[in-house]
Amino acid sequence: MTSTTEILRETAARLLASGAVEMVIGFRQGTIPMMNEPCFVRKPAEAGLLVWDSHCGINLANYVTDRKEKKIGIVAKGCDSRNLVTHILENKIRREQLVVIGVPCRGMADKRKIAMKCPGEILRVHETETAITAEGEGFTRTFEKADVLQHNCSLCTHRNPVIHDELAGEPVEEQQGVDRYADVRAVEAMSPEQRWKYFEDLLAPCIRCYACRNACPLCYCPTCFVDESRPQWVGKGQDPVDVRTFHFLRAYHCAGRCTDCGACERACPVGINMRLFTKKLEKDCLELFGWEAGLSLEVRPALDHYRPNDPNDFIR
């Protein structure tokens, strides 16, 4: 069996050697368990750096924003490819600049979930197609991969890249009959007071590091609204009003664009599930406009295109 890693290395070396691309963006082996680092390679001899496993959760579309190279190879799982589509539609990169090396994806591991299921510090992790084994001092734990996926991955219905020029492996079966929005419905069912309290607790640990914003490929504004100083829209401290303003507005800026890649939640150092906000908007887009972001280069996104049959019940 040829592993995804081997295919990626072979593909990258071939593309670089033939001059089809100037660089390939992918992942290299991380320095701690369950972390890989986004990297680039420019020479065929460096292609051996590239790896692929269940710890490649960061969305690589983030790394092509406004890049000037004429040809860039980029490794893309399903969600990354959807964000590449969104990037292309939003003129952050041109399709002809990209050679998309698609990776059919079986989901990324949730390192916190695995850590919480282990009795000590995890020192080594290895995996098969369906299982992940974590080892530490005096313990070995093997998990079904399906049980330790990132939450967004367990709900993913677009595991195969939607655009690709190369494909590193056979397409995988898409998950069917997934209930994507049970968590959003639970929040919708709350009374306004309950919901307010729920959001307050959800955001209480936030340290305003902006890892969620910066890990997101959609957040590419030259100056984010939270960084505007003339005028200043939002305070920079720990005041809950300011923390909420940041999170709510960030989510609204992602409406109709978010692919639920999970990079925000994964990046958060204090474990906040801010995906709840973007998922609510994703659900609204699906229900109101039948829209899922990043699936097609041919159709303009729901929120940047007027159609006569757009729902308008909210106008009273």
User: Residue 98 or residue 243: which is nearer to another protein going by CB?
Assistant: 243
Q: Tell me the one-letter amino acid at 270.
A: V
Positions 194 through 223 that interact with another protein (CB under 8 A): 205, 207-211, 213-215, 223
DSSP letters spanning 175-226? P-S--TTHHHHHHHTS-HHHHHHHHHHHHTT-----HHHHH-TT---SS-GG
Q: Pairing state of beta strands 98-102 and 131-136?
A: unpaired
Length of the chain: 316
Reduced DSSP (H G I as helix, E B as strand, rest coil) percent helix, strand, coil of the chain, to 5: 35, 15, 50
Positions 118 through 177 that interact with another protein (CB under 8 A): 121, 123
Q: Which residues contact 227 (CB under 8 A, 6 or more apart)?
A: none
- For the bound state, the minimum distance from the C-beta of residue 23 to another protein, rounded and expressed in Å, comes to 10
Q: Of 11, 36, 86, 150, which one interacts with another protein (CB under 8 A)?
A: 36
- Asked if residues 75 and 103 have their Cβ atoms less than 8 Å apart, the reply is yes
Determine if 271 is a binding residue for another protein (CB under 8 A).
yes
Tokens representing 96 are 């002809």
Q: Of 106, 247, 266, 275, which one interacts with another protein (CB under 8 A)?
A: 266
Number of residues engaging another protein in binding (CB under 8 A): 40
Positions 226 through 255 that interact with another protein (CB under 8 A): 227, 229, 235-239
User: Residue 140 or residue 238: which is nearer to another protein going by CB?
Assistant: 238
Q: Which residues bind another protein (CB under 8 A)?
A: 30-32, 35-40, 46, 49, 58, 62-63, 112, 116, 121, 123, 205, 207-211, 213-215, 223, 227, 229, 235-239, 266-267, 269-271
